[in-house]
Structure 1
Amino acid sequence: MIQAAIAVLVRDNKVLLARRAPHRKDYPNRWDFIGGRIETGETPQAALARELGEELAISLKNAVFLKKMLDRHLRPDDPPTYWFFKVTEWVGTPVIANDEHSALNWFTLAQMQVLPDLADRAYLDLATEALSS
C-alpha cells in the first residue's frame, strides 16, 4: 500500500503547484501539489519535511493536517493514500531541486479552477480548505 505526504503550500492567498515532469509515470505534465512517499518507519510529518527538502530545497517550520484522501483514479484496486498538510511556514525559497518537476507556480483558486491539466479535480476542494482556514 502506497502512502504519501503532500504539502499544500499557502502564501498571499495562493497555493504552490508543480508541473510533474514528462517522464513521470503517474500524472506526467500535470499540475500537482508537492510531496512523496512515506518511507517505512517514517511519520507523515517527517516524510513531508524530507520531501519538501528534496523537491523544493526548503525546510519545513509548520504544517497542519488537512485530510487523508484515496487516489482511486490512479489505482482503483489498491489506491494510494495521500496525507495532505497545509504549510504556511518554511525556511528558504521554493525552487525545483530535482528532476521530478519541470515548473513551479503560485495559483489563486480562480486560476486553479480553469487549469485543464490539474492532476486531480479534488485538489480544488483542498485548496479551498487551505486558503479559507
Structure 2
Amino acid sequence: MDNQKTHYVVATGIIVKDGKYLIAKRASFEKAFPNRWTVPGGKLESKEFTQRPHDAGTQWYNVIEDLVEREIKEETDLEVKNIGYVTSLAYMRSDGIPTIIISLCADYKTGEIKLCNALTEYAWVTLEEARNYDLIEGIYEELAILDHYRRTGKQTKWEPHLSAR
C-alpha cells in the first residue's frame, strides 16, 4: 500500500446541553495530548461500516455521524441527536500518520455521564468558561465556531483567535 494514501479519519463531537458544551480531560497515559481538555471523539475503523450492508450500491452512508455517536456513547455514556458539521482539520501525528479530523456538534439526548478510562474529568462550560481550561490547541476556536452559529445562524470557518469576534 502506498504510504502517501494511509491516514486516519477521526470524528469529534461537541455536545450541547442547556447552552453549555461538554469538555473532558484526557488521561495522563494518553500518547497524544495527555492531561489536556478536549471533546469526545475517535478514529474510524473500516469494520464499522464494512460489516454492515451497503446503503446504496457499493456505498455506506452516515459513517461519520455513526462514528461520533458511538464514540460519544463509549467515552461518556451519553446519547446525542441533531448531529451537525462544525469544521475539519488535518495534522501529522508524532508517529508520522496523517490524520483528518471532522469536528461535529450534537444536542444532548439522554444519559448520565460515565467517563471511559481515557478521560479523567469533565465539565459543562460556556464559551467564556472554556478559556479557563487547558484545551488542546484549536478546540476553543471550534467551540467559538459553534457558539457563533448558535447565536447568529451563520456558519463560519475556523480562524486563529476566533474568540475576538
Shared fold per TM-score greater than 0.5: yes
Instruction: Indicate the RMSD between aligned Cα atoms, in angstroms.
Output: 1.9
CA–CA distance in structure 2, aligned partners of residues 85 and 55 of structure 1: 16
What is the number of residues matched between the two proteins?
129
2:117 aligned residue (91, 94, 99): 99
Distance in structure 2 (CA, Å) of the matches to 1:81 and 1:59: 24
Instruction: Report if aligned partners of 2:17, 2:108 keep a CA contact under 8 Å in 1.
Output: no
Aligned position for 2:36: 30
1:108 matched to which residue of 2? 126
Counterpart check, 1:119 vs 2:141: no
What SS is found at the alignment partner of 1:26? coil
Sequence identity of aligned pairs in percent? 22
Name which one, 1 or 2, has greater alpha-carbon Rg.
Answer: 2
Unaligned runs of 5+ in 1: none
- Which of 90, 95, 100 is the matching residue for 1:81? 100
1:105 is displaced (CA, Å) by 0.6
Q: TM-score, normalised by structure 1?
A: 0.85
Q: Distance in 2 between matches of 1:49 and 1:112?
A: 23
Q: Per-residue deviation at 1:75? A: 4.3
- Aligned 8 A contact 1:10 1:131 in 2: no
The offset of 1:2, in angstroms, is 1.1
